[in-house]
């Protein structure tokens, strides 16, 4: 987990690597945080949505997940339609069953975040 600062160097939140999405999630200062960078706990849950998961109930068509079908002559989209819902407690990520990825329902250690 790493600190996220704004353009003036002030703390804005924290970021961590999510193995379910294979992406980073950012938790802002509106979450409560236990203060431990080694075994963080955030409350409430962390919910990250993209694509048609932004609009629930789901709306079919005109979405990232059907981009290749709608735009066969264009470059593939790098965007994904995902829902990732988890608790971060004592340095572990508990993925809730409403996640759209394969780690739904699992609990794993928070991976070390390596800057590229």
* Mean pLDDT within 19-35: 94
CA distance 67 to 70: 5
Tell whether 16 is covered by a domain. Answer: yes
Tell whether 9 is covered by a domain. Answer: yes
Confidence at residue 73, expressed as pLDDT on a 0 to 100 scale? 82
14 and 33 Cβ atoms separated by less than 8 Å: yes
Tell whether 85 is covered by a domain. Answer: yes
- Number of structural domains found in the chain: 1
Tens-place pLDDT, residues 31-81: 999 999 999 999 999 999 877 666 655 555 566 666 667 767 877 766 777
CA distance 73 to 23: 27
Tell whether 86 is covered by a domain. Answer: yes
Tell whether 54 is covered by a domain. Answer: yes
Tell whether 32 is covered by a domain. Answer: yes
Tens-place pLDDT, residues 96-108: 999 999 999 999 9
For residue 55, give its domain range. Answer: 2-109
Residue with tokens 């329902």: 105
Confidence at residue 86, expressed as pLDDT on a 0 to 100 scale? 97
């Amino acid at each position: 987990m790493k600190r996220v600062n704004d353009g003036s160097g002030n703390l804005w939140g924290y970021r961590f690597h999510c193995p379910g999405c294979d992406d980073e999630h950012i938790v802002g200062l509106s979450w409560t945080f236990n203060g431990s960078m080694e075994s963080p706990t955030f409350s409430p849950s962390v919910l990250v949505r993209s694509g048609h998961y932004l609009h629930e109930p789901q709306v079919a068509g005109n979405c990232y997940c059907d981009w290749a079908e709608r735009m066969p002559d264009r470059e593939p989209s790098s965007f994904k339609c995902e829902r990732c819902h988890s608790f971060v407690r004592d340095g572990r990520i508990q993925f809730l069953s409403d996640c759209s990825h394969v780690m739904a329902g699992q609990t794993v250690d928070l991976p070390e975040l390596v800057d590229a």
